[in-house]
Structures are given as C-alpha cells and as structure tokens.
C-alpha cells in the first residue's frame, strides 16, 4: 500500500511539473499595436506598435515605438517619440493569464517647432524602464495586453499602455 501511495504521489508531482513546464513554454513571438498614456514630463496620449521575440523559455525581447499626439502651446508645438527596448520575464503563465516583469532602455525624442521664428529644437534623452504587464491569451491569434511602466531619466514618466498583440507563426 505504501509503494502504491508513493508511486501515485510521484506520478501526480511529475504531471504537475510537466504541466507547469508546458505552461511556461507558451511564450510566443508576437506583434501588435497599443494606446499609451504618459504622465509627468510628456503628459500626453499616443499610439504605437509593439513586438515580442522569444529568446529563452521565460524571456522575450520587446521593442516598442510610441508616437504621442502633438501638443499645441500657442506659439509653439511639442511632439514626442518614444522607442523602448525591454526584456520581459514571464513569471506566471497559466490559463489565459501571462504576467511579466520588464526592464529596459528608453529613447525619447522631443521636437519643438516655434511658429514665430519658424525654428525647431530637438532633444534626445535616454532613460531606464522598469514595470510589468499582463497578457490575456483569450484566443490562439489575438492577445489583449496591458503594461504599467516607469521611465527614469531626463523624461521621468509613468506610462500605462494597452492594446492587442497577434501571435506570429
């Protein structure tokens, strides 16, 4: 009886570990689009694109580009373009939920166009990203997602993004 109980326990543990490994290997190459809202220095809403490329069992590299809507401040306009290169670490992949932490680099370009003298000013700053996100794998092809990220640098900001990623084959 003891041997049967030990064998049953081993089979249950092996099954649970195999299921966990299969769930962790669900990270896929993806591409999609997003809507972003930035606080602090940028304080604008933008649209952009995102991709994810698997580099290890739980790790993806995720480049993204966000173009914020121009802000008219009377006699000058401000535009922001943000490029992020993040590494995502998936720490929970079960059912339809995929939670990940992220860290990476941020490149923000600020462009100011002055109407009164028709001149331009450009500024490029580099920052560090830290945050997390969640994917909702509700179908085999479309994956809604949301991220919360803090950028630390000359353009300090909190950015909330949401959108759709599409699994690539």
How is the chain split into domains, by residue range? 2-167
CA separation (Å) from 60 to 1, 47, 70, 95, 157? 47, 22, 31, 19, 23
Does 17 have pLDDT greater than 80? Answer: no
Higher pLDDT, 59 or 20: 59
pLDDT band at 22; cut points 50, 70, 90:
very low
Is residue 138 within a helix (H) or strand (E), and if so which, with residue range?
Answer: none
Does 23 have pLDDT greater than 50? Answer: no
The pLDDT tens digits of the residues spanning 30-88 come to 999 999 999 877 889 999 999 999 999 999 999 999 999 987 777 888 899 999 999 99
Handedness of CA 84, 86, 92, 95 (dihedral sign): positive
2-167 belongs to CATH 2.40.160.20: yes
pLDDT at 4: 46
* Strands 45-54, 30-38: pairing kind: antiparallel
């Amino acid at each position: 009886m003891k041997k049967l109980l030990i064998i049953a326990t081993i089979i249950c543990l092996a099954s649970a570990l195999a299921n966990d490994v299969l769930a962790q290997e669900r990270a896929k190459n993806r591409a999609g689009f997003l809507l972003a809202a930035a606080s602090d220095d940028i304080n604008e809403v933008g649209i952009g694109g995102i991709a994810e490329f698997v580099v290890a069992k739980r790790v993806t590299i995720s480049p993204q580009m966000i173009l914020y809507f121009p802000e008219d401040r009377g006699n000058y306009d401000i535009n922001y373009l943000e490029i992020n290169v993040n590494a995502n670490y998936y720490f929970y992949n079960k059912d339809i939920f995929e939670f990940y932490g992220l860290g990476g680099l941020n490149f923000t370009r600020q462009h100011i166009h002055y109407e009164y003298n028709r001149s331009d000013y450009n500024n490029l700053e580099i920052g560090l990203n830290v945050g997390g996100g969640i994917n909702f794998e509700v179908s085999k092809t479309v994956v809604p997602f949301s991220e919360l990220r803090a950028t630390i640098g000359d353009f300090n900001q909190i950015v909330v993004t949401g959108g759709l990623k599409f699994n690539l084959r």
